[in-house]
Amino acid sequence: MNRMKVDEEEYWHSSKCKAFTFDDEDDELSQLKESKRAVNSLRDIVDDDDDLEKFSWSGEPVGSISWSIKETASSNSNTSEGRDLSGQKGSSSYGAFPKQPSSYSLSSFFKGRNKHGSFQSLSDALTDTGLKNYAPELRRPKAEFKDYTSDWSPKDTVRRLQRGKISSLERFRSLQDKLLLLDEAVAVHDGNVITAILIFLKKTLKKEILFRELELRQVALQHLIYFLKETGDQKLLLDLLRFLDRTEEVALTQYREHLTIQDAEKRKEFLKGCIGLSFSSEDAAHVQDHYTLLERQIIIEANDKHLEASGQAEIFRKYPRKASILNMPLVTTLFYSCFYHYTEAEGTFSSPTNLKKTFKIPDKQYVLTALAARAKLRAWNDVDALFTTKNWLGYTKKKAPIGFHRVVEILQRNNAPVQVLQEYVRLVEDVETKLNLAVKYKCHDVVIDTYKDLKDRLQLMAYRCKVDRGSPAEEKIDSILSNPQIRWKN
Amino acid sequence: MASAGLRDAPQLPDFGLLKRLARDQLVYLLEQLPGKKDLFIEAALMSPLDRIANVSILKQHEVDKLYKVENKPAYSTNIVNADKAAGRTRKYKIIFSPQKFYTCEMVLEEEGIYGDVTWDEWSFYLLPLDEDIISMELPEFFRDYFLVSINSVIQNLFLSQMVHELWHEIEEDSPVDTVGQKPEIGHIFLLDRDVDYVTALCSQVVYEGLVDDTFRIKCGEFHPRAPEQLLAFSVFSQIRNEHFSSVFGFLSQKARNLQAQYDRRRGMDIKQMKTFVSQELKGLKQEHRLLSLHIGACECIMKKKTKQDFQELLKTEHALLEGFDIRESVSFIEEHIDRQVSPIDSLRLLCLLSITENGLAPKDYRSLKTQYLQSYGPEHLLTFHNLKHLGLLTEQAPGETLTAVESKVSKLVTDRTAGKLSDAFSSLGRKSNFRGISKKLGLIPRGDGEYDLKVPRDMAYVFSGAYVPLSCKLIEQVLERKSWLGLEEVTRLLGGNEFVTGKRARENVALDAQRIVLVVFLGGCTFSEISALRFLGREKGLRFVFLTTALTNSARLLESTIEAKA
């Protein structure tokens, strides 16, 4: 193989490509020729003293190129330049290194081409022959491009990869070359190429080495993490995150996996395993709750399924369950339990009070949910009890952790009768809101009393036209309007 | 910048060309496989494809059956493997659009069908959605870029800077003979979405934005397919940029006019009737159809919005933007969460609160997060983690006073060699400073008198006169000053040194072209922003061209941060 390569090399070296007409394919030939020539002339220099020169025309460590040449020449001797890279912490672009004017500089080999700008550019090759090709549809299917078994520099290789031409990466065997390739890809900001090279590195490097090198290359690292997530390589991903000491991310990544487990019992077991992971203290509590919730749901689900099937409980006959409670949020579970298990003693897993206690559900959240559930069942007494508090003298008082306008809204949505609605409309604190709600839901008593309190005779008279003739509401208005003791403001 | 003589806006370049190019290339690719063929189309590609070609074009090129592939690109490998197992032989070709990724090749190889399929690329990068909107149709860009690749790392390069750099390279690479060509665009702005999250998070009230929020416009395809020249004069083009409150009046006026025109039939003689039918009826019918479509849409919007207390929601948003009565907003948000109404809206309000307040107080953060998880599911702790990374929803650092942390962080950020920063700092480092910016730029118009939404006086009309979109205001300011000069304080608050200004004096830019401004939104732009800049353009005699990775809105933005439910 190597023997053949050298022959081929000599052929190219001696051939005169100048007379070629450039079409897309020949563009490659020209590039090939260029890199051959560069590479061949380099050999003499590099072979002479291989670690004198560190940076070349584009600021790349010459070491890698020299290595690749040795490879072609089937020399196995190792060079030590690879270690230079570790010195350049996190640097993602070699472009930043100063060009060193040196007689060894590669640029001298490209001088002839430099004035055209990049010698790589397709259009460059095309302008040479005046064959402008703007219409990409006239090209050959991309898949038909054949790769030449030849030695592209890392830069060339990346450029080729960028253009979607298949470039074999197998040749990049030394760690240093691999990294050079990667850095080159990062420097051109091409995620696709970075990923291609990462796939190759993943295949050909021990993971410890790969991880170690990526730790210094954050951009490439992000791409690998993304790639592993996308391809579902959970194991390697976790190894990587562990290596990087990102313990919280390890925990979250592991936890994320539960989403893929369909079976509730298995999911529960999985969550149990997540409990000890190094989440933030806040999240640790959430994960613990998640586990407990699912555990509860499994018990409730089994019981209720049985209960429903047996047909003994009236509530299930009247309101058959529409879906399983498994994997529902806590509030949904609470709603469910307020709906089906409202009166149960605190000792049972399915009782609302038990849920409230176990998960420390705030009053506000609890009341809103219970209200919605009981209103749906039109259990107005329960609704009443929800807001009734007794003070130490035994007086009862209505109190709510949420605004009463919200209570009214929920009740109204569940078609509460006016008598019920009116009681809560009356409790709305803001007078204007109260009036609006009362008018909207036709709570005549509240409207009338409010106008009376406001001493607004005109409004009251206007409202008289809106109530039914001969209704109790009209009578009430009339009696108020004829009350001489009221001092109307208008 | 605007002088009286330049009032009428300049002509835009014809971007329809891009569509024709894409179509020609598609046809070419289809012709590469002669004979009858079935076409499997990925779901996400359906709408863009629809705008490029139609079924009859596909049929013309011997496409037999069309299939939709749902979210599973790997599905195609199953087809091939199933065929192989059944001993069927067929030819397969995969067309990657806009380009093939090496990961795809890897999948093909792993699935053992590499070599069984040929492939090609349909380099369909830019889809003109309108005469002034070009979309790259990359909705996942926001997530991929801002969430996945950059967030745990503060990179020396911010996105727009990177693009800017690439742009330079391309320019240098491109053949020299652009000399003869006259540039068609005078100014270019590159905007990262993370410069302005607030605007993207607000409820939209401009008609097109509202329609997008409510129904999700796909590829600008809200209106039924109609000949484009007709659309230009259609109902939609007249109301799309209007505040929703003015739309009803407009529609009913239109309806009355239409009625009147129909009514003219009465009392016509046969001859008049004949001309009427042959000349006007078709147009009237078309208009009728569009009108009833929009009236239907309005009805639907009204129904939905009253149900979800839109008014209250807007009130809270405006309070957050202005920064008054924060406690009241917090308790509104809390109740919103507790009632289990729209998880996205809850999240949106939380993010708005966080950005406008530079993070939530630790106590609020904990309590609201807990309640969110309880209402919408514990797995959302992953979502919160993502939002923290993005800097969209953060917790104020306890103990230290904010300014101390701020100066510490900004020192770290400027110290470029530091390169790597811990996660905690990175989310703090991207503090929004919304209040400061808002004050400096005057984003909240002073509330003297009513804002007449029918006669907008500035870009704030797109948010009911309550807020001028930050992204648009920046552009306005730079255009007005012809540079960033005098905006140093703002750029500092926005993340300081991450700004690049590329200036290239081009004397030969035609006068008209100078008044064309290309705005590139990396990470998505909203219809509200488009409407606002169109308004600015009309005021200043400019034309804006929008190039965006995708059209976005608050829901799309936030959904991309939510871990998918399996």
Higher-pLDDT residue of B231 and A423 is A423
Does the beta carbon of B71 lie under 8 angstroms from any beta carbon of chain A? no
Q: What percent of chain A is modeled with pLDDT above 90?
A: 34
A-chain residues near B378 (CB < 8 A): 286-287, 289-290, 293, 329-330
Q: Find chain B residues with C-beta within 8 A of A227's C-beta.
A: 103
Round to the nearest angstrom and report the end-to-end CA distance of chain A: 108
The tokens describing A337, both together, are 């339990």
pLDDT at B426: 41
Please list every residue in chain B whose beta carbon sits closer than 8 Å to the beta carbon of residue A255: 381-382
pLDDT of residue B399: 53
| B148 confidence band (pLDDT: 50, 70, 90) | low
pLDDT-above-90 percentage for chain B: 24
At B83 the pLDDT is 82
Decide if A113 touches B, using CB distance below 8 A: no
- A23-50 pLDDT per residue, tens: 444 444 444 444 444 444 444 433 333 3
- Determine the Cα angle at A283 with ends A278 and A289, to 5°: 110
Q: Look at residue B179 and tell me whether its pLDDT is greater than 50.
A: no
**Which residue(s) pair with B130 in the sheet?**
B133
pLDDT at B405: 44
Tens-digit pLDDT profile for residues A191-212: 888 888 999 999 999 999 999 9
Q: Could you tell me how far CA B58 lies from the centroid of its own chain?
A: 29
d(CA B482, CA A31): 44
Straight-line distance from the first to the last Cα atom of chain B, in angstroms, rounded to the nearest whole number: 54
Cα separation values, A148 from A145, A168, A177, A380, A487, Å? 9, 9, 19, 82, 103
CA angle (A43 as vertex; A40, A44 as ends), nearest 5: 115
- Among the residue ranges A174-183, B32-41, B415-424, B553-562, the one predicted with the least confidence is B415-424
pLDDT above 70: residue A176: yes
Q: Predicted confidence band at B137 (pLDDT cuts at 50, 70, 90)?
A: confident
Position B509 scores a pLDDT of 55
Subunit contact B378:A256, Cβ cutoff 8 A: no
3-state secondary structure of A392: coil
| Minimal Cβ distance to A329: which of B165, B176, B375 | B375
Mean pLDDT of chain A: 74
For residues B289-312, average pLDDT: 83
Token readout for B524 is 């998505």
CA separation for the pair A106, A41 (Å, rounded):
10
Give the pLDDT band (50/70/90) at residue A253: very high
Rounded Cα distance, B154 and B152, in Å? 7
pLDDT, tens only, B49-107: 888 888 888 888 888 888 877 755 556 677 778 888 888 888 888 888 877 788 888 88
List Cβ<8 Å contacts ≥24 apart for B94-97: B94/B118, B94/B119, B94/B120, B95/B29, B95/B119, B95/B120, B95/B121, B95/B122, B96/B120, B96/B121, B96/B122, B97/B45, B97/B121, B97/B122, B97/B123, B97/B124
Residue B205: the pLDDT is 93
How far apart CA A397 and CA B260 sit, in angstroms, is 62
d(CA A284, CA B35): 60
Q: What is the pLDDT of residue B74?
A: 59
Buried b / exposed e across A89-109, counting CB within 10 Å, b at 16+?
ebbbbbeebeeeebebbbeeb
Q: Do B175 and A231 touch (CB under 8 A)?
A: no
CB contact under 8 Å between B25 and A365, yes or no, is: no
Answer whether B22 touches A (CB < 8 Å).
no
**Single-letter residue type at A41:** S
Among B61, B227, B44, CA closest to B127 = B44
Q: Looking at per-residue confidence, does A244 or A389 come out higher? A: A244
- Determine the average pLDDT of the residues in B486-514: 64
Q: Which of B267-271, B279-283, B506-510 has the lowest mean pLDDT?
A: B506-510
Q: What is the pLDDT of residue A252?
A: 94
**A361 reaches B (C-beta below 8 A):** yes
Q: In chain A, which residues have their Cβ closer than 8 Å to the Cβ of B370?
A: 286
Please state whether B95 falls in left (phi above 0), alpha (psi between -120 and 50) or beta. beta
Closest CA to A142 of B439, B24, B29, B536: B29
Q: Does an H or E element contain B82, and which? A: helix B75-85
Measure CB to CB from residue A256 to each of B28, B377, B563 and give the nearest one.
B563
- Comparing B144-158, B326-340, B360-374, the range with the smallest average pLDDT is B144-158
Task: Indicate the range of A10-14, A354-358, B27-31 predicted with least confidence.
Answer: A10-14
- Whether A158 and chain B come into contact, CB under 8 Å, resolves to no
Q: Is B101 exposed, middle or buried (0-12, 13-18, 19+ CB in 10 A)?
A: middle
- CB distance B370–A164 less than 8 Å? no
* Residue A164: predicted pLDDT: 75
CA distance B145 to A223: 10
What is the rounded CA–CA span in Å between residue A60 and residue A107?
A: 12
Residue A128 clears pLDDT 60, i.e. is over it: no
Q: How confident is the model at residue A189 (pLDDT cuts 50, 70, 90)?
A: confident
CB atoms within 10 A of CB B531: 25
Pick the residue with more confidence: B398 or B78?
B78
Confidence at residue A99, expressed as pLDDT on a 0 to 100 scale: 35
Q: If contacts are CB pairs under 8 Å, which of residues 284-313 in chain A contact chain B?
A: 286-287, 289-290, 293
Helix-helix angle A191-204:B102-110, to 10 degrees: 40
Surface-to-core class of residue A469, CB atoms within 10 Å of its CB (0-12 exposed, 13-18 middle, 19+ buried): exposed
Question: Is the CB of residue B565 less than 8 Å away from at least one CB of chain A?
Answer: yes
pLDDT band at A151 (very low <50, low <70, confident <90, very high): low
Chain A residues touching residue B100 (CB < 8 angstroms): 142, 164
pLDDT above 70 covers a percentage of chain B that reads 77
Q: Smallest Cα–Cα separation from A289: which of A271, A313, A266?
A: A271
DSSP string for residues in B464-477: TTS---HHHHHHHH
**Cβ-Cβ contacts under 8 Å, A258 against chain B:** 379
CA A142 – CA B278 distance, rounded (Å): 52
The mean pLDDT value for B210-219 works out to 80
The verdict on a CB contact (< 8 Å) between B566 and A117 is: no
The pLDDT of A93-121, averaged and rounded, is 36
Q: Which residues contact B204 (CB under 8 A, 6 or more apart)?
A: B210, B212, B213, B462, B526, B527, B528, B553
Asked whether residue B181 carries a pLDDT value surpassing 60, the answer given is no
A420-476 tens-digit pLDDT: 999 999 999 899 989 999 988 889 999 999 998 888 888 888 888 888 888 888 888
Write the residue in A221, A252, A361 that is nearest to B385 by C-beta: A252
The pLDDT, as a whole number, for residue B364 is 94
pLDDT averaged over chain B? Answer: 78
Which of A31, A38, A20 has the alpha carbon at shortest distance from A124?
Answer: A31
Mean pLDDT of all residues in A398-421: 88
The residue whose two tokens read 């005469």 is: B131
Which candidate, B25, B18, B30, places its Cα nearest to that of B58? B30
Which residue of chain B has the CA closest to A136? B25
pLDDT of residue A396: 77
Query: Is B400's pLDDT higher than 70?
Result: no
Query: Mean of the pLDDT values across residues B436-456?
Result: 83
Q: How many CB atoms lie within 10 A of CB A291?
A: 21
pLDDT band for position A58 (cuts 50, 70, 90): very low
A29 vs B: CB within 8 A = no
Check B378 against A289: CB less than 8 A apart: yes
Q: At what angle do helices A247-256 and A234-243 cross, to 10 degrees?
A: 160
pLDDT (tens digit per residue) in B304-321: 888 778 888 999 999 999
Contact A359 B564 (CB under 8 A): no
Nearest to B378 among A286, A368, A402 (CB): A286
Contact with chain A for residue B417, Cβ under 8 A:
no
- Rounded to a whole number, what is the distance in Å from the CA of B557 to chain A's nearest CA? 19
- Identify the pLDDT of residue B501: 58
Contact criterion met (CB below 8 Å) for B379 and B342:
no
A260-281 per-position pLDDT tens digit: 999 999 999 999 999 999 999 9
Check CB contact of A218 with chain B, cutoff 8 Å. yes
Above 60 in pLDDT, residue B213? yes
Q: Does A216 touch chain B (CB under 8 A)?
A: no
